[in-house]
């Protein structure tokens, strides 16, 4: 056993060294900082034709903190993996950000043989990293750090491919990542978990995983969610001179989803007090549903309804669907990403499809150009935009499933 442990440490050390040297060489060859004099490069989302010149450091900070601490603390409540999960999250983030800058840079920010890095490309890399961190929540305990780095290597590449197809080729509006971040990350991780399923080993691990750490981890993670999720969801949607609908809708959704947890938990569980982790799950679910619909909803009550539904779905899925997935489909899903990211992400995509079908100049006014530019410019009807939004869902699920099979 000591020899095996020493060999594992050496493999991790060697892989980290090789990956870092490789990225340093690529950065030295291709990556440069952008400036006002640099060529104008289209931004990531098709609904944002020009880079956000009004981008501010606090918004980047909020996105980065949420990716670093928020996701790390979301998986820290598990009894067996709590202490190491934060370290694994930092490891994944440290490599995923660098790799995402390169892969996304070649796709979106590449011009005259160079990748121009700016604030927008850093936020895009953090969004990509968030999807990979969601995937790690499904396979935590099933893979070692070396395998986690290899999962990150392929996951970032597939994430960028899915994002390019949806946002650039299909013209889908998904600024907060209901599909590209939450849904893709959840089902990519679930498929990897299914492929790596080992009946005897997984049964022992499930027995060891029973119980949780003190709710202190969940409490801190929930606080981070309330502070930074609205900024994360709206980081690519807030525009200069426009009302921050995505930001406000995220807050309303958070409030409603939290109340949904208090509605169902006393009914579904026999515990005398509500566990903080259940509130945490509801908060994450609200962010997933608002990823696509956040900038589309024109009234606050719509955000309340969506958040309330997301909280209900998350609680019901955790109570009834997780045991079925574990017994029938053989997925461990250590952190319940299917309930807090996957299902709410699908709900957000369906809600976004409905809102796209109803997109009119009367409803959105001048914001129609920002939310649905192709519809505003007459290049696509509202029904055609809705069809694209709807087709993006099975495409994301298919690519996530194929990617999981490749990792396995």
Could you give the CA distance from residue 367 to residue 82 in angstroms, rounded to a whole number? 44
- The three-state secondary structure class of 356 is helix
Q: For the residues 188-216, what does the mean pLDDT come to?
A: 63
Q: For the residues 314-333, what does the mean pLDDT come to?
A: 83
Q: What is the pLDDT of residue 217?
A: 67
Could you give the CA distance from residue 116 to residue 279 in angstroms, rounded to a whole number? 40
Could you give the CA distance from residue 296 to residue 277 in angstroms, rounded to a whole number? 29
Q: What is the pLDDT of residue 388?
A: 94
Q: Is the pLDDT of residue 36 over 90?
A: no
| Beta carbons of 192 and 135 less than 8 angstroms apart | yes
CB atoms within 10 A of CB 369: 16
Q: Summarize pLDDT for 126-135 with one digit per residue, the tens.
A: 899 989 988 9
CB atoms within 10 A of CB 197: 16
Q: What is the pLDDT of residue 201?
A: 52
Instruction: Identify which has the larger pLDDT, 219 or 105.
Output: 105
Q: For the residues 70-94, what does the mean pLDDT come to?
A: 68
Q: Confidence band (pLDDT; 50, 70, 90) for 369? A: confident
Please list the alpha-helical segments (H only) found in 48-118: 57-65, 71-74, 82-108
Q: Confidence band (pLDDT; 50, 70, 90) for 210? A: very low
Long-range pairs, 162-167, Cβ under 8 A, ≥24: 162/395, 162/396, 162/399, 162/400, 163/44, 163/104, 163/128, 164/107, 164/108, 165/395, 165/399, 166/392, 166/395, 166/396, 167/44, 167/45, 167/46
CATH of range 62-198+215-407; options 3.40.1620.10, 3.40.190.10, 1.10.3430.10, 3.40.50.300:
1.10.3430.10
Whole-prediction pTM = 0.89
Highest mean pLDDT among 45-49, 237-241, 335-339: 335-339
Pairing of strands 110-111, 114-117: antiparallel
Q: For the residues 205-229, what does the mean pLDDT come to?
A: 63
Give me the chain's average pLDDT, please.
81
Q: Is the pLDDT of residue 39 over 70?
A: no
Instruction: Identify which has the larger pLDDT, 295 or 392.
Output: 392
Q: Is the pLDDT of residue 404 over 80?
A: yes
Give the pair of three-digit tokens for residue 124. Answer: 């895009």
SS3 content of the chain, % helix, strand, coil (to 5): 75, 5, 25
Closest to 281 (Cα-Cα) out of 235, 212, 331 = 212
Q: Confidence band (pLDDT; 50, 70, 90) for 52? A: very low
Could you give the angle at the alpha carbon of 104 between the alpha carbons of 101 and 108, nearest 5°?
Answer: 125
Q: Is the pLDDT of residue 284 over 80?
A: yes
Q: Confidence band (pLDDT; 50, 70, 90) for 226? A: confident
- The three-state secondary structure class of 161 is helix
Beta-sheet strand order (sheet of 31-33):
31-33, 114-117, 110-111
Q: What is the pLDDT of residue 16?
A: 94
Could you give the CA distance from residue 403 to residue 400 in angstroms, rounded to a whole number? 5
């Amino acid at each position: 056993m000591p020899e095996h442990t020493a060999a594992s440490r050496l493999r991790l050390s060697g892989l980290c060294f090789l990956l870092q040297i490789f990225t340093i060489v690529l950065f030295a060859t291709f990556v440069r900082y952008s400036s006002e004099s640099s060529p104008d490069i289209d931004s990531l989302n098709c609904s944002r034709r020009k880079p956000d010149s009004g981008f501010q450091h606090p918004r980047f900070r909020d996105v980065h903190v949420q990716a670093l601490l928020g996701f790390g603390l979301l998986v820290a409540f598990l009894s067996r993996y709590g202490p190491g999960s934060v370290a694994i999250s930092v490891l994944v983030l440290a490599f995923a950000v660098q790799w995402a800058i390169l892969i996304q840079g070649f796709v979106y920010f590449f011009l005259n043989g160079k990748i121009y890095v700016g604030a927008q490309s850093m936020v895009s890399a953090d969004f990509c990293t968030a999807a990979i961190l969601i995937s790690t929540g499904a396979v935590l305990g099933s893979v070692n750090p070396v395998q986690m780095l290899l999962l990150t290597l392929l996951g970032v590449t597939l994430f960028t491919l899915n994002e390019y197809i949806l946002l650039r080729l299909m013209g889908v509006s998904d600024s907060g990542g209901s599909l590209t971040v939450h849904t893709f990350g959840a089902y990519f991780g679930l498929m990897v978990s299914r492929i790596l399923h080992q009946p005897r080993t997984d049964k022992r691990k499930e027995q060891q995983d029973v119980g949780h750490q003190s709710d202190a981890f969940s409490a801190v993670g929930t606080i981070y969610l309330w502070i930074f999720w609205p900024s994360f969801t709206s980081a690519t949607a807030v525009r200069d001179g426009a009302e921050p609908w995505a930001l406000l809708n995220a807050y309303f959704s958070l409030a409603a989803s939290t109340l949904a947890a208090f509605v169902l938990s006393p009914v579904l569980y026999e515990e005398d007090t509500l566990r903080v982790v259940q509130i945490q799950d509801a908060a994450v679910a609200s962010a997933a549903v608002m990823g696509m619909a956040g900038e589309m909803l024109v009234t606050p009550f719509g955000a309340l309804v969506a958040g309330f539904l997301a909280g209900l779905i998350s609680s019901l899925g955790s109570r009834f669907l997780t045991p079925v997935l574990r017994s029938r489909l053989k997925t461990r899903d250590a952190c319940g990403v299917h309930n807090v990211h996957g299902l709410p992400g699908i709900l957000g995509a369906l809600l976004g499809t409905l809102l796209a079908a109803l997109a009119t100049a009367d409803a959105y006014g001048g914001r129609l150009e920002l939310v649905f530019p192709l519809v505003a410019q007459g290049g696509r009807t509202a029904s055609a935009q809705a069809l694209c939004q709807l087709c993006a869902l099975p495409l994301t699920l298919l690519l996530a499933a194929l990617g999981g099979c490749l990792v396995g």
